[in-house]
Structure 1
Amino acid sequence: MRSIGEMARDSGLGVSALRFYDRAGVLVPAWVDPASGYRWYEPGQLEEARLLARLRRAGMALADIRLVLAGWSGADTDLVRKLLKAHLRRLEQGLSAARGEFSALRALLDHRENAMTSLRSASVRLSVAAPELAAALDTVRFAASTDPELPMLGGVLFDIEGESLHVVTTDRYRMAVARAGIAGHDGSRVQVIVPTSLADAMRALLDGKGPVRISVDGDRVALEAGDRQAAGHCLDHDFPDYRRLLPQAAGRRTVVEVAAFVKTLKTGPVRSAEAGAHDVSVLRVEDGGAVALCTEGAGDPNRVAVNRGFLLDALTAGARDRLILELGAPTAPIAIRRPDDESAFSLLMPVRLED
């Protein structure tokens, strides 16, 4: 018999994925210890697990995977071949349609390129209070992307307009926005993407209480604090239009004491998303306003699942004692706001649960 850890190591499926496929009835362990709940697998199940891992990497739906595994174990090769052929045909059709859509999108992007370039090529001089900018950068830093395939997200957007500087980060699964008041700007909108390393260097200079100066000249941005300076080139990319993603008022809203809620998350029940390695917390706002963690078997339609690590990052960013938590539908993003400035917030995408 193989332990679940050995099965994960030899099959290419994570332990959390094996637990998920057990619950889904796709790959059920041969024996479960009634005392500990530990799963054990027969040696022959390793082949099925490896097949399952390949099918998931190929993007096959769970319902079709069940049929393939049933045909595989029953030596029904005709059924397996038909299912594989049908899935490959769907992938090819989807790829063809996607190529057509991307061609149209490229034409639209080319049309908009000049307007977007003008936002990045202006010259700007402004001042901002050091503590205010420091708080804004601390609030958003955690959500900056580290994905080399998405270099446009590998920095902090400085969105300058009117008397406000909005700093924004996102890695597609979460987004953080914070605001700082500015002076000395003519009001026109200018956007630059500051590389995270440069943003960190700027943050290191914000240890005073007075104003600091920010200047933008084309593709170069600089922050001056007294006789110290952090400067460098901006990222030559377009940042997503974050204003289209701003959260609307949610159906359930409550104030949480951050320290207590973080402790509850760290010690409370977790579950795993489909084929994922991250822990997921399932939240629900009770009638009295308290936030409860749902257990694995809870069937509450108002529950919202979220990556626990992402939620902990959002709660601890900026070192706030209290935060506002907004929960909508299970498929709606989760918003976390500061009580003293609701224009500063984090947005977390929910995790889809199968049951």
Structure 2
Amino acid sequence: MRAIGEMARASGLTASALRFYDRAGVLVPAEVDPVTGYRRYADDQVRAARLVASLRRVGMPIAEIIAAVSALPDPTAVGVLIDRHLHRLEVGLADARRELARARTRLELEVPMTTVTLSAASFAATLSAVRFAVGSDPAILGGVLLETGENVLTMVATDRFRLAVASTIAAVEGPPVRVVLPPEALCGDVTRLTLTPGRVTIEGAEVTPIEGEFPDFRRLVREPEGPRVVVDVAGLRAAVEAQPLVWREHEGSTYPLVILNVDDGVRMASEEEWAADVGRHVAVNRDFLLQALDVGDSGQLVLELDGPIGPLAVHDLERDQFSLLMPVRH
């Protein structure tokens, strides 16, 4: 015979549960001391107690558990009771899924949505103007920020060393919204987007936004204190490519620099000139500058110079897009 504590350990039921099942007639002890009231269970009742524990964990009603314990000598009969309860659970789960789906739909309909409609060419050009600046550093959001305004869609990308911003005219219906999306989700002919802060639909396909706070790009966008110089894209690219390479090592990687003299217009400068007069020169990552020049196709760009420690802005006024390149300190 087993005391109630031993029975609890052997079956997985608590002592209080065993007392409850005794009162409910589910599992009656083999004997009860008439003086002390101590319950004792026969060894062959352990099997029944374990069955009770399993069936209660899946929510089988007490009446059916009593029937299952009574039918324990006939495993087939117990199996019928288990299958019946399992079917009831499956039906209940299907009902719960339908109800929760309806609740989710109602909630989504209550969230204000913003619809953006534009030409596929405009969307592709705007994305192309910023995609090169998407970062891979896990410390920042490696995606493209989409921000809506009054009849305008703005895209922004940054990898800490450069920032690209481009805007395009679009039909915008709904409140302003900001979402960050993975660049691969923006491929293809896109003409219609539906945006909420937590859900985005592109051409009918749902896309999950990237969670987190995108860097405050507007903090860097300000009127430069230095000159604005109109440059010929082809001529500047040729001058940059012809310039002898100056290498800089940073955070374990090596990259080439391009040094610009900002004293009178824009011209290439040597490392010696840079060293002799830091205040009249600005140095940026050569590859980043070439990528920024490749984005513009208008033939002319405006370089906005903010001195040797401010970012260099490469501005395409015709297409309302620009890149900011962080300067390299001497």
Gap change, CA 1:122 and 1:278, over 3 Å in 2: farther
Task: Please tell me whether residue 236 in structure 1 is matched to residue 211 in structure 2.
Answer: yes
Supply the distance in 2 between the matched residues of 1:261 and 1:338 (Cα, whole angstroms): 14
Say if 1:271 and 1:279, in contact at 8 Å, map to a contact too: yes
Within a 5 Å distance, the mapping from 1:110-189 to structure 2 comes to 122-150=112-140, 152=141, 154-186=142-174, 188-189=175-176
Residue in 2 that maps onto 1:245: 220
The answer on 1:329 being equivalent to 2:303 is no
Which residue identity is paired with 2:160? R
Structure 2 residue 325 is the aligned partner of structure 1 residue 348? yes
1:269: Cα distance to partner?
2.5
Instruction: In structure 1, give the amino acid aligned to 2:327.
Output: P
SS in 1 for 2:290: helix
Contact 1:270/1:282 (<8 A) preserved: no
Unaligned runs of 5+ in 2: 1-110
For 2:201, the aligned partner's letter is: A
Q: What are the superposed Cα offsets for residues 118-162 of structure 1, whole Å, 9 maximum, x if unpaired?
A: xxx752212123222222111111100012343x2x111001122
For the structure 1 residues 147 and 336, does the alpha-carbon distance in structure 2 shift closer, same or farther, using more than 3 Å as the test?
A: same
Which position in structure 2 is the counterpart of 1:283? 260
Instruction: Give yes or no for the alignment of 1:194 onto 2:181.
Output: yes
Identity over aligned residues, as a percent?
Answer: 37
TM-score when scaled to structure 1?
Answer: 0.57
1:332-355 CA-partner distances (Å, limit 9, x unpaired): 1000101314x42100100011xx
- Give the Cα–Cα distance (whole angstroms) in 2 for the partners of residues 332 and 218 of structure 1: 33
Within a 5 Å distance, the mapping from 1:216-227 to structure 2 comes to: 216-224=195-203
Question: Could you tell me whether the CA contact under 8 Å between 1:122 and 1:190 is conserved in 2?
Answer: no
Q: Deviations over 1:41-97 (max 9, x none)?
A: xxxxxxxxxxxxxxxxxxxxxxxxxxxxxxxxxxxxxxxxxxxxxxxxxxxxxxxxx
**Partner SS state of residue 193, structure 1:** strand
**TM-score of the superposition, structure 2-length normalised?**
0.61
Measure, in 1, the Cα distance between the counterparts of 2:139 and 2:172.
37
Aligned to 1:261: 236
Distance (Å, rounded) in 2 between the aligned partners of 1:283 and 1:171: 22
CA RMSD of aligned residues (A): 2.0
d(CA) in 2 for partners of 1:322 and 1:128? 26
5+ residue gaps, structure 1 = 1-120, 207-211
- 2:193–2:202 contact (8 Å) kept in structure 1: yes
Spell out structure 1 runs of 4+ moving beyond 3 A.
Answer: none
Instruction: Report what 1:42 is aligned to.
Output: none
Q: Partners in 2 of 1:270 and 1:302 — Cα distance?
A: 20
> What is the count of residue pairs matched by the alignment?
215
Task: Return the letter of the residue paired with 1:170.
Answer: T
Q: What SS is found at the alignment partner of 1:273?
A: strand
Larger radius of gyration: 2
